[in-house]
Amino acid sequence: MRKLILAALVSVIGANAQAISVGLLAGVPFTDAIKTTTINSLAALPTSTNFVYGPTLQINLPKKFRIEVDALHRPVGFTLGPLLNLTASEWRIPILLQYRMGPKSFSPFIEGGVSYDHISGLSAILTTIKSGPGTLLNPSQASVVLGAGIDIKIPVIRRISAELRFTRQSVAQFQDISNLNQAEVLVGFHF
């Protein structure tokens, strides 16, 4: 079955020289990965720099469909109480099926798929928290992703895209302070 899917994918790509595009996505989250909360008089405050960026790969399929795979990086940081300042990096790898509508020069699209999310680069102090708020529960997880956007075809750069993306994480990464709902606006440059 895998060989059949791979053969179909190769034939689609071979039939259209512009079937693959690579690019860069960058954006701003509407929500922080950490929610502001107070638990047992211990305040948890997000300190993340709010930006997302990374490479993107798109494969055009027949009937206005395409597959997009991204590798998005997002800094995560928070304070616990007056003394603990914790930092990490979140890597999100969404695999999305997109459907485009309208003409090629100005195409709205919708998308849906799954994402593999992973926390890495933990500050040393974070590994010492063994229980309570801020404890790392799940460094890796799966998420559901939904979104909508628009592609605008321009000279030199193949396309610019703008989209609004919503991600629902399946489990909390940090005890009591994870924000399971993430929303972000992304701009893409595709070559």
Domain CATH code at residue 87: 2.40.160.20
Domain-located, residue 19:
no
Give the pLDDT band of residue 13 (cuts 50, 70, 90). Answer: very low
The gap between the terminal CA atoms of the chain, to the nearest Å, is: 31
CA dist 174 and 132 (Å) reads: 9
Alpha-helical segments (H) within the chain = 2-15
User: In this model, does residue 38 exceed pLDDT 70?
Assistant: yes
Q: Would you state the pLDDT for residue 7?
A: 54
Q: For a pLDDT cut of 70, what percent of the chain falls above it?
A: 85
143 lies in some domain:
yes
The overall average pLDDT reported for the chain is 85
Q: Is the pLDDT of residue 107 over 90?
A: yes
Q: Which residues contact 81 (CB under 8 A, 6 or more apart)?
A: 42, 43
Q: Is the pLDDT of residue 111 over 80?
A: yes
Whole-number pLDDT of residue 8: 52
Q: How many domains does the chain have?
A: 1
* pLDDT tens per residue across span 114-133: 999 999 888 766 666 677 77
| Beta carbons of 18 and 190 less than 8 angstroms apart | no
Is position 142 within any domain? Answer: yes
| pTM > 0.75: yes or no | yes
Q: What is the pLDDT at residue 2?
A: 58
Structural domain boundaries enclosing 159: 43-190
The Cα 186–Cα 30 span in angstroms is 11
Mean pLDDT of 43-60: 88
Cα separation, 107 vs 154, in Å, equals 12
- Any domain includes 101: yes
Residue 53 has pLDDT above 50, yes or no: yes
Report yes or no on 36 lying in a domain: no
Let me know if residue 145 belongs to a domain: yes
Using DSSP, state whether 9 is helix, strand or coil: helix
Determine the average pLDDT of the residues in 99-109: 90
Domain assignment present for 31 = no
Closest residue by Cα to residue 146 from 118, 168, 162, 161: 168
pLDDT at 188 over 70: yes
Q: Is the pLDDT of residue 74 over 80?
A: yes
